[in-house]
């Protein structure tokens, strides 16, 4: 039976002429209910499982009798529902994606205050809406045990500004789920994107390489005029704001340096020649604030700083910048007097995440990985996680759970949970969490995890799971991750599955295009012995995208003879391989992260940067290539920037991704080689001619 349990009883006595005085109910030998009468009719809430209950009567003569009721209470199956709107504020003519998640439901509907109605699957789903006025949408879930609802509001503002755009790209891969989908692209379609009609319009030069993804805000007033604004942060610790549509004289709308007097970017890391801002920033439109993490060195030493910039001027806000510091108790080889400290041997590569009024920041490429949380308004630190404070890694890098995610970033679900992947290193399921998918609450308390059963091989062979990013598949409870072994892990966020033999806790494991290059056995030996795992001839260095029921994943081959590109996987609870792109991405290109533009569910285009041989690699760098494919048919290449000489961008920068908004495509590349003094970066802008 289900809780609450109804108790209906009548008592009498044959031994006391004065009759029954009262009745009561005991649960697990504790009285929980008393009534001064010879009848009872009440309900008691009981926990799931076996319950020992007793109904007892007491008479006026001091006597008592009782009846024992041992019952089993089944777990509640009441329906649940949640709904989010992304973006939650649009320009008239734009659209928002409503994402609904439901459990224990047989019917799920969404109704808007504008009279619109949508019917979804029993577990929810996603629907694209284009309200003409501010509208509240209510998701209702009906099940065997009742009905519940949740609501989200989409605010609509008039499109009277000179910018004329409808889309904002405020974070890496478009949203906190890292879907890589802009569903508001009205201009570009498979019918008009071709070398004859589409190409490079202009290039902005900046003072250093842009390793992070550009960001874009539509219809923003800057310096008294309305613009669609393109933002980029460089490894020289500069942040730029440009008009996203018109080159003009090439002068930025504003440009600020994050360096203080006497400071410079680092020159001692693996990022050459300068390491300043490496990650993708994040923008909060509710406060017009951009959050940027910078790295710098000066007389006092090297530091990380969290900058909060006004997106209309570049001015610091909220008392910023805030120096980033963190420490945890630990005994690994980096600890000092029993404490591990964050230091600038780490690289802050993972894209920033804004969720729950909090900025989340990941660090890797150092002894142990870190994930930090900062209040978006006060810039005060609210959470610290270290992936291995006590144990040391193995192999060439001896690292321990770096949070770098192939340039991707932490992801957040509608309930406010935070997810990351970690790099190679030790794992014990207690304090060491390398090569895992981790789930946290907003205070960075660890809630759940998934760890591949081959974690020892991955540590030994430098086979980071965090070489790739993390996708939360919209409208589902599934997360998708993959790294250097070429194996994809589909896991359920309500129960990630922990570490089990043969990855039994995962929803599915699958390799990229086994038909092209079959997985094979590999063995690695370290101080703990020999470790064997099945791996493939592909490595994942990027974040998947999602559109119309398909996942799009980029890889790089581990040999020149292995064909590799973007693969499409149909999602129906599990992944099924479909088409893949040609020509192949080259070895050592560090993969690619696709981006999808679409008008709702129509006119889907999959965009990618083929980095060639990127800057900072072992081979001579080559110019990048922007490619576009019909998202419904990856064999149909729509555009290739190498076709026309005037469309060729700069040198490839590993892990970078395109963005698409308001009829244009934006990519970051290198203008000069690393060997040039103070090499410049490029922001290449493509659109219809």
Q: What pLDDT, on the 0 to 100 scale, is given for residue 379?
A: 98
SS3 561: coil
SS3 647: helix
Q: Which pLDDT tens digit goes with each residue over 339-367? A: 999 999 999 999 999 998 999 999 998 88
Read off the tokens for 3: 């809780």
Q: How far apart are the first and last CA of the chain?
A: 68
Residue with tokens 């020289």: 236
DSSP assignment of 31-83 equals: EEEEESSSEEEEEE---SEEEEEEEEEEETTS-EEEEEEEEEEBPP---EEEE
The yes-or-no verdict on residue 549 having pLDDT over 90 is yes
Segment 407-420 mean pLDDT: 94
Residues near 244 by beta carbon (within 8 Å), at least 6 away in sequence: 163, 165, 216, 227, 228, 229, 230, 661, 662, 664, 666, 685
For residues 463 and 88, give the distance between their C-alpha atoms in angstroms, rounded to a whole number. 39
For residues 187 and 417, give the distance between their C-alpha atoms in angstroms, rounded to a whole number. 35
Segment 222-226 mean pLDDT: 93
Strands 322-324 and 301-310: antiparallel
Give the CB-side neighbour count of residue 614, counting CA atoms within 13 A.
Answer: 24
Degrees, nearest 5: CA angle 664-93-115: 145
Q: What pLDDT, on the 0 to 100 scale, is given for residue 93?
A: 56
Integer-rounded Cα radius of gyration of the chain: 28
Read off the tokens for 117: 């109605």
Q: Are 374 and 380 in contact (CB under 8 A)?
A: yes
Q: Which pLDDT tens digit goes with each residue over 432-447? A: 999 999 999 989 999 9
Distances (CA, A) of 156 to 111, 162, 169, 519: 17, 17, 17, 50
Q: What pLDDT, on the 0 to 100 scale, is given for residue 224?
A: 92
For residues 195 and 182, give the distance between their C-alpha atoms in angstroms, rounded to a whole number. 22
The 215-222 sheet, strands edge to edge = 215-222, 225-233, 238-243, 254-257
Nearest residue to 450 (alpha-carbon basis) of 426, 479, 424 = 479
Strands 135-143 and 437-440: unpaired
Query: How far is C-alpha 592 from the chain's CA centre?
Result: 17
Phi-psi label, residue 334: left if phi above 0, alpha if psi -120 to 50, beta otherwise: alpha
Segment 87-99 mean pLDDT: 75
CATH pick for 181-688 out of 3.10.450.40, 2.140.10.10, 2.170.150.20, 3.30.420.10: 2.140.10.10
For residues 489 and 478, give the distance between their C-alpha atoms in angstroms, rounded to a whole number. 10
Read off the tokens for 148: 């519940």
For residues 660 and 640, give the distance between their C-alpha atoms in angstroms, rounded to a whole number. 16
Distances (CA, A) of 618 to 68, 210, 615, 645: 77, 20, 9, 26
Please state the length of the chain. 689
Segment 488-498 mean pLDDT: 97
For residues 681 and 239, give the distance between their C-alpha atoms in angstroms, rounded to a whole number. 12
Greatest CA separation found in the chain? 108
Distances (CA, A) of 8 to 40, 55, 227: 6, 10, 70
Cis omega before residue 641 (within 30°)? Answer: no
Q: Are 126 and 97 in contact (CB under 8 A)?
A: yes
Segment 96-124 mean pLDDT: 90
Q: What pLDDT, on the 0 to 100 scale, is given for residue 163?
A: 65
Read off the tokens for 393: 């890694």
The yes-or-no verdict on residue 289 having pLDDT over 50 is yes
Residue with tokens 């008294």: 224
For residues 19 and 11, give the distance between their C-alpha atoms in angstroms, rounded to a whole number. 9
Q: What pLDDT, on the 0 to 100 scale, is given for residue 94?
A: 64
80-157: CATH superfamily: Immunoglobulins (2.60.40.10)
Q: What pLDDT, on the 0 to 100 scale, is given for residue 160?
A: 39
Q: Which pLDDT tens digit goes with each residue over 8-60? A: 999 999 899 999 999 999 999 999 999 999 999 999 988 888 999 999 999 99
For residues 280 and 259, give the distance between their C-alpha atoms in angstroms, rounded to a whole number. 18
Residues near 268 by beta carbon (within 8 Å), at least 6 away in sequence: none
Band the pLDDT of 161: cuts 50, 70, 90.
very low
Ordered by start, the domain boundaries in the chain are 5-73, 80-157, 181-688
316 class by beta-carbon count within 10 Å (0-12 exposed, 13-18 middle, 19+ buried): middle
Q: Of all residues in the chain, what percent carry a pLDDT higher than 90?
A: 80
Average pLDDT, the chain: 93
Q: Which pLDDT tens digit goes with each residue over 520-547? A: 999 999 888 999 999 999 999 999 999 9
Nearest residue to 623 (alpha-carbon basis) of 596, 586, 583, 661 = 586
Read off the tokens for 69: 């009721």
Q: With DSSP H G I counted as helix, E B as strand and the rest as coil, what are the percentages for the chain, rounded to 5?
A: 5, 50, 50
Q: What pLDDT, on the 0 to 100 scale, is given for residue 395?
A: 65
Residue 51 bridge partners (DSSP): 71
Please give the helix or strand (H or E) that residue 455 lies within, else none: helix 455-460
Q: What pLDDT, on the 0 to 100 scale, is given for residue 159?
A: 39
pTM given for the model: 0.79
């Amino acid at each position: 039976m289900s809780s609450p349990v109804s108790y209906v009883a009548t008592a009498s006595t044959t031994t006391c002429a004065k009759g029954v005085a009262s009745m009561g109910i005991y649960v697990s030998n504790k009285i929980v209910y008393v009534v001064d009468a010879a009848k009872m009719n009440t309900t008691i809430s009981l926990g799931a499982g076996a319950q020992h209950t007793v109904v007892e009567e007491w008479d006026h003569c001091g006597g008592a009798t009782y009846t024992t009721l041992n019952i089993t209470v089944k777990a509640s199956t009441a329906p649940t529902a949640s709904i989010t709107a992304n973006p939650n504020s649009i320009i008239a003519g734009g659209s928002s994606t409503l994402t609904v998640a439901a459990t224990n439901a047989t019917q799920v509907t969404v109704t808007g205050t504008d009279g619109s109605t949508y019917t979804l699957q029993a577990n929810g789903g996603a629907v694209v809406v284009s309200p003409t006025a501010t509208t509240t949408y209510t998701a209702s879930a009906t099940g065997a045990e009742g009905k519940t609802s949740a609501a989200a509001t989409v605010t609509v503002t008039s499109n009277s500004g000179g910018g004329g755009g409808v889309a904002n790209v405020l974070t890496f891969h478009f949203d906190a789920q890292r879907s890589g989908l802009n569903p508001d692209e009205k201009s570009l379609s498979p019918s008009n994107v071709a070398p004859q009609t589409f190409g490079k319009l202009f290039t902005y030069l900046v003072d250093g390489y842009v390793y992070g993804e550009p960001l874009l805000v539509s219809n923003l007033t800057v310096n008294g005029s309305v613009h669609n604004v393109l933002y980029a942060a460089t490894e020289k610790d500069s942040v730029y704001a440009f008009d996203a549509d018109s080159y003009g004289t090439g002068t930025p709308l504003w440009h600020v340096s994050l360096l203080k007097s006497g400071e410079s970017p680092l020159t001692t890391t693996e990022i050459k020649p300068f390491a300043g801002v490496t990650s993708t920033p994040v923008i909060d439109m509710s406060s017009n604030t951009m959050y940027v993490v910078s790295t710098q060195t000066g007389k006092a030493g090297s530091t990380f700083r969290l900058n909060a910039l006004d997106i209309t001027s570049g001015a610091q806000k909220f008392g910023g910048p805030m120096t980033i510091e963190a420490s945890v108790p630990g005994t690994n080889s980096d600890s000092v007097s029993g404490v591990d400290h964050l230091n600038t041997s780490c690289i802050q590569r993972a894209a920033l995440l804004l969720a729950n009024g909090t900025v989340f920041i990941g660090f890797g490429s150092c002894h142990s990985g870190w994930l930090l949380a900062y209040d978006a308004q006060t810039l005060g630190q609210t959470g610290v996680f270290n992936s291995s404070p006590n144990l040391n890694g193995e192999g060439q890098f001896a690292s321990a759970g770096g949070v770098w995610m192939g340039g991707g970033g932490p992801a957040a679900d509608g309930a406010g949970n935070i997810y990351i992947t970690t790099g190679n290193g030790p794992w014990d399921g207690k304090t060491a969490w390398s090569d895992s998918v981790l789930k946290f609450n907003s205070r960075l308390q660890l809630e759940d995890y998934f760890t591949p059963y081959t974690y020892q091989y991955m540590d030994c062979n430098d086979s980071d799971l965090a070489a790739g990013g993390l996708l939360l598949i919209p409208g589902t409870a599934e997360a998708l991750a993959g790294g250097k072994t070429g194996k994809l892990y589909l896991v359920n966020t309500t129960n990630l599955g922990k570490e089990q033999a043969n990855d039994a806790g995962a929803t599915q494991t699958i390799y990229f295009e086994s038909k092209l290059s079959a997985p094979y056995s590999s063995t690695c030996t370290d101080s703990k012995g020999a470790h064997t795992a099945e791996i493939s001839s592909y490595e994942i260095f990027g974040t998947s995208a999602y559109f119309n029921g398909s996942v799009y994943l980029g890889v790089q081959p581990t040999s020149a003879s292995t064909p590799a590109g973007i693969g499409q996987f149909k999602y129906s609870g599990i992944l099924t391989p479909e088409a893949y792109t040609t020509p192949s991405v080259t070895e050592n290109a560090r993969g690619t992260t696709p981006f999808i533009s679409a008008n709702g569910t129509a006119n889907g285009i999959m965009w990618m940067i083929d980095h060639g041989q990127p800057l900072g690699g072992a081979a001579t760098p080559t110019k990048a290539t922007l490619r576009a494919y019909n998202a419904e048919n990856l064999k149909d290449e729509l555009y290739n920037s190498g076709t026309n000489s005037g469309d060729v961008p700069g040198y490839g920068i590993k892990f970078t991704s395109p963005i698409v908004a308001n009829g244009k495509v934006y990519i970051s590349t290198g203008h000069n080689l690393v060997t040039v003094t103070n090499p410049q970066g490029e922001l290449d802008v493509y659109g219809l001619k």
